[in-house]
Each structure stands twice: as structure tokens, then as C-alpha cells.
Amino acid sequence: MNAIEQIHELREQLAQLRQERTKEGRLPTVGFVPTMGYLHEGHASLMRAAKEQCDIVVLSIFVNPIQFGPNEDLDKYPRDAERDLALAERLGVDLVFLPTVDTMYPSPTKTKVNVKEVTTLLCGARRPGHFDGVTTVVSKLFNIVQPDYAFFGMKDAQQVAVIQQMVEDLNFPVTIVPCPIIREEDGLALSSRNVYLSEQQRQEALVLSQSLFQVDTWMQSGEVTTVSELRARIVQHIETSPQADIDYVEILSFPQLTELDASTSLHAHRGQAIIALAVRFGTTRLIDNRIL
């Protein structure tokens, strides 16, 4: 496995690998896993999926400054490149791209990619400019790596929807592969930011997954039948945690991410709606979701 910092070196190494792994005239497929590092089992699941589906796997590790707001956690975002590289090597990743900020943004960015509509709610409404930063860096990475497949975790379902929309609108020749949320044994969705939680906050954060897991029980028992009733029940459950500060609890169409009529039956939206949560515990903001 090679760890590379420069764009031209990555392209040279990829070209060499493509040539070496061409078989009987069939070009090898390239799978790409873009991350911000501090890798956990959720990231590992993406690398495994890429390894299973593709001939060459490229991982990127880059904490992208233009997707962080002025009061967000860019400076303290957890980093551990040595551990990340060891995990990538164990999982059989072929190339790891570790660019610096100067490599990705050698001069102030005058061009940004802006996706409309699917960015107006949820995290997009609360983090102005965040998704412009995401789509800009991902489009740059797609142009650098030129993958056939790119793997994204569904924990950030809005990001998946935004990237899919960008790829469709701009005709990127890449297939987006959404991968399931990976959770701890007690249900907490894996996140690099979980390291910020105190022991008490970590315990209380279980109300997120618990509320999502309870949805089927509430629906089957008839306790909730409409979109508004389900949202109210989830809010009620989360508020049993003294430290939980709700940012949003939303039930939207997916992947369009448009608002649903609050009075409509939940059963009418099965498989076509997402329950999305964002809750702060102290200074740590956690997100979670499930498809209805």
C-alpha cells in the first residue's frame, strides 16, 4: 500500500496499477472511499465493500476546511494518520491519498459546486455553506481519482442524497454506492465525533438509536399513525435525556428530502421517507437516521 500526498503522484500510481491489473482487455474498476480520517468500523465497512466490488481501492483522508463553519470543530477534529494507515493496509487498500490543504487549495477557491433543494433542510439549513464545501471537495476528488464507484455511509444520509444529485446533474462517470450505518453493540451510530462525549453523554446519546428502533413498535401497536404523531413521539423520547439538546427531528421524503404532509399516514411513506435526527450533547453534535 502506498500513501501519497501529491496529486500527480496519485495519478501516476493509479495509471500504473490500472495497467498492471488489466486482464484480457478488461480495464480494472476503481473504488473510492473519501473520508476525513480518524477511521472507525464504519469507514472499514466502506473499504471492505469497495474491496469486494472493485479491482483497485483508493482511500482519501482529508479534513476539508471549506465545509466547516467559523464556530465549528475544524481545529480540534480528531486526527490519527498513523492509525488510519495501519487500518487501511490491513484491509487491503491499494492507495491512500493524504493531501495537505495547500495541495487541495493552492490558492483561494473561486469556484464552488452548489446543489440546491436537497441542501435546504436538515444540516444544510443549520450549517450554511457546509454542503457547498462538501460538493466542491468531492468533485475535486472525483476529478483527481476518476473512480468507477464511490462508497459513502448512510449515517450522513443527506450527504449521500446531495452527492447523488451532483453526480446526476453534472454527469460524473461514477456510481455512488450507499452503505449501511454501522453501530456499536448498544446501538450508537459510529462517528469520529463520539470521542468527544463524556461517559454520561455517551450513555445518554443512546436515546437517538433507541427512538429510531422504537418506530416499528409504535406503528404496529397503533400508538402513532401519522407523520406528526411519530415526530412528536420521537421528540418526547429524546427529551428523556437531560443533556440532549435537539437540533432537529424531521421526517422527509427520501432521497428528495422534501417535507411531508404532517397529517398523512406513515404507511403511505414506507421505503420512501427518512427519519433524521441531529442532537447536541454538550458541544458534540450527533446525527442519526433510518429509512421508514
Q: Which grid coordinates are listed for 46?
A: 466502506
Please name the residue that has the C-alpha cell 468507477: 148
| CA 249 remoteness from chain centre | 18
Q: Which grid coordinates are listed for 111?
A: 469556484
Point out the catalytic residue in the list 8, 43, 237, 267: 43
DSSP the chain: -EEE-SHHHHHHHHHHHHHHT-BTTBPPPEEEEEE-SS--HHHHHHHHHHHHH-SEEEEEE---GGGS-TTSSTTT----HHHHHHHHHHTT-SEEE---HHHH-SS---------STTSSTHHHHSTTHHHHHHHHHHHHHHHH--SEEEEEGGGHHHHHHHHHHHHHHT-S-EEEEE---B-TTSPBP-GGGGG--HHHHHHTHHHHHHHHTHHHHHHTTS--BHHHHHHHHHHHHTTSTTEEEEEEEEEETTT--BPPTTSBGGGGTTTEEEEEEEEETTEEEEEEEE-
Q: Which grid coordinates are listed for 165?
A: 444529485
| Residues 6+ away with beta carbon under 8 Å from 119 | 131, 158, 162
Task: State how far the Cα of 73 lies from the Cα of 156, in Å rounded to an integer.
Answer: 17
Residue 269: active-site member: no
Instruction: Please identify every residue annotated as catalytic.
Output: 43
